[in-house]
Chain A
């Protein structure tokens, strides 16, 4: 399977700090999406960045895409306790692509 690799696997930061997580693929990146999952719940779509885009913003989220390095990063600024969750990237290249193991983010109040 063309599974993405998120890095780091786990991240703990103080509330108010910024959190950065990365995602890389061995295959080319097309439409890359980031999702959030609160414990045991379904994934929620955060943002989509297309292969011809290099950076995209949505509220406190900033996503960058480097197609030459086949990688993307998600930055969450001014973190809040409610941001505690797992974050997954998803690269659409063919219908069988799947999610990675995710980054577990813990915000310490």
Chain B
């Protein structure tokens, strides 16, 4: 089944404790991206990647890192999480640079205390 998976689905952590949210897709897609969704602000792009070893900042990259060592994986790293990073996070992938349908993961609800 074609899908985007994220782990964990729910996470409660404390300020400053490094964490990684994994994202994997099985559709051989080149384009992957991370979004955060906050009430009243919609979805905002954090980082995106057009292919292996190619990443770029989205609209709200501060406090986040990503890597794209393999085509299928695109982890989101929070080196020192802060409460303002409490949000619902989505990973998405598509076959090209975003002009085609994006497939979304189920989301990761992160709470930073």
Contacts and interface: CB of A to CB of B under 8 A. Distances in A.
Main secondary structure of the interface of A (DSSP, over half): loop
Q: What is the interface residue range for chain B against chain A?
A: 20 to 34
Contacts, number: 66
Contacts of B107: 40-42
Interface stretch (A12-20, A57-65, A76-84, A98-106): A98-106
Interface in A86-109: 88, 90, 92, 95-102
B99 A98 contact: no
A25 to B, nearest CB: 14
Interface in A19-72: 30-31, 33, 35, 40-45, 48
Given A31-B99, A96-B59, A101 B106 contact: no
Given A31-B99, A40-B88, A42-B90, A99 B43 contact: yes
Given A42-B90, A92-B98, A98 B42 contact: yes
A102 B56 CA distance: 25
Interface stretch (B14-22, B44-52, B63-71): B44-52
A95 B97 contact: yes
Contacts of A3: 42
A98 B97 contact: no
Contacts of B42: 3, 88, 98-102
A98 B100 CA distance: 14
Interface of A: 1, 3, 30-31, 33, 35, 40-45, 48, 88, 90, 92, 95-102
Interface of B: 4, 31, 35, 40-45, 48, 50, 56, 58-59, 88, 90, 92, 97-107, 109
Given A43-B92, A97-B98, 7 more contacts: A31-B99, A43-B104, A48-B101, A92-B98, A95-B98, A98-B43, A99-B43
